[in-house]
Amino acid sequence: CCQAQLDANKNADSTLALTFTYDNSLPVSLLTTPSSATAVNNTATLATISGTAYSDAPNTVTGAAIDQVLLNLRCSGCAAGNVPGWWNGTTWAGGAEPALLFSAALAAPSWSFGFTNSWLDGYQYAVYSRARDAATNLEAAESASPFVVDKTSAEAKVAAPAHNTFVGALTT
| Cα(133)–Cα(163) distance, integer angstroms | 65
Q: Which amino acid is at 151?
A: K
The pTM of this model reads 0.74
pLDDT band at 165 (very low <50, low <70, confident <90, very high): confident
User: Residue 113: what residue type?
Assistant: F
Q: How many CB atoms lie within 10 A of CB 118?
A: 12
Could you read off the pLDDT of 106-146 as tens digits, one per residue?
A: 998 999 999 877 788 899 999 999 999 999 999 987 778 88
Report helix, strand or coil for 162. coil
Question: How does pLDDT run across 149-161, given as a tens digit for each residue?
Answer: 888 877 888 777 8
Q: Read off the DSSP letter of residue 138.
A: B
